[in-house]
Amino acid sequence: MAKFKENPIHDFELSKSDIKTIGKDLQRPECILAEPDGFLWAADARGGVMKISPDGSQELITQTGSDFFEAADSEATRYLEGTLPNGLAFADNGDILISNFGTDRLERMTRTGETIVLADTIEGEEIGKVNFVLRDSKNRIWITISTKTKNWMHALKHDLKDGYVARYEDGAFRIMADGFGFTNEIRFDKNEEYLYIVETTGGCITRMRLTENGDLVDREIFGPTKLGKGAWPDGVAFDAYGNLWGTTVYSDKLFVLTPEGDMKTLLDEGDPAKVDALEKAFFNNNVTEDVLFATGQGIAPWMASVTFGGPDLSTVYIGSLKGKNIPYFKSPVPGLPMVHWKQ
């Protein structure tokens, strides 16, 4: 792993001319997994993943082929109903763990499409909106539930804190921490000392310390208590220096938090007037379809995730909810290898 005397992000500037794209005609590429051989796996609203080879050729792998997303008669229907593979992670044998935001369950799919449901209930109740899945070095599976509200748009309220983090072990889920504002992506730091938890409607990143017996304790906000106006943090990823890269979904920003918690915005693609309208509606607990779906523009509309890939982990891929391809650029520092990264 490269050593740095100073944080490389301080002098890094990103311009639109630095950004290229890969993939075509993708549907809701919210989360992206990268492998050392250069293959990318992107969540796809047709009910599975799109496998993208280094030369750009593509193969759609679906559990059950669905044209629901493309054929939907409105934006609300498209993003609120049907199968919506969201967060992805590789299982220890290379299968793909899928947090399905549409079917409200955690699924496990082979690389040829055979699928089983790992869980759709938790502690005897419906599980809620399964958003993200992460596997740690001890092969434990962690998930986030954004909300227990069936229609997630109705959960876009500043005073609703019904999101939670759960862990899957021995065939069952257990709630590990709750009371979050629309829990989204989670990441462990290099030593798995802390779990960093995105609170989308909270507008912040929370972290909790992982104890030796696997409990989460000592909850605190990391970085700013509010990541700016129109802050709707979504996806995060660590680099090798310890910077936490992230996106804000409806305001279409790419940002970095240094190990000290200082924030630097690398890319701002949002429409200020539309972001402002959504912000006002949000604090009035009156987010409507018209106000929400009016947002989203730029290279990765409804910017949702950050993934480090490439042979040296120095390529940043950006996932999105409304994009048709995957933007990417070179980072000044490589990403922190995930547990599946083996060379």
**Would you say 34 and 43 are in contact if contact means Cβ atoms under 8 Å apart?**
no
How many CB atoms are located within 10 Å of the residue 121 CB? 13
The pTM of the full predicted model, rounded to 2 decimals, is: 0.93
**Would you say 312 and 340 are in contact if contact means Cβ atoms under 8 Å apart?**
no
Tell me what the mean pLDDT of segment 156-181 comes to.
93
Dist. CA 180–CA 280, nearest whole Å: 21
The per-residue pLDDT for range 286-325, each reduced to its tens digit, is: 999 999 999 999 999 999 999 999 999 999 999 999 999 9
Helical residues (DSSP H) of 28-187, grouped into ranges = 68-71, 75-80
- At 70, is the pLDDT very low, low, confident or very high (cuts 50, 70, 90)? low
Q: Which residue's structure tokens are 């699924």?
A: 107
The per-residue pLDDT for range 12-56, each reduced to its tens digit, is: 999 999 999 999 999 999 999 999 999 999 999 998 999 999 999
Amino acid 245: pLDDT: 98
**Would you say 271 and 295 are in contact if contact means Cβ atoms under 8 Å apart?**
yes
**Which of 3-7, 99-103, 104-108, 309-313 shows the highest mean pLDDT?**
309-313
The per-residue pLDDT for range 223-243, each reduced to its tens digit, is: 999 998 888 999 999 999 999
- At 259, is the pLDDT very low, low, confident or very high (cuts 50, 70, 90)? very high
The one-character DSSP state at 239 is B
Amino acid 85: pLDDT: 87
How many CB atoms are located within 10 Å of the residue 316 CB? 23
What is the CA angle 137-112-94, rounded to 5? 15
**How far are the Cα atoms of 184, 188, 250, 267 from residue 254, in angstroms, in the given order?**
16, 20, 11, 5
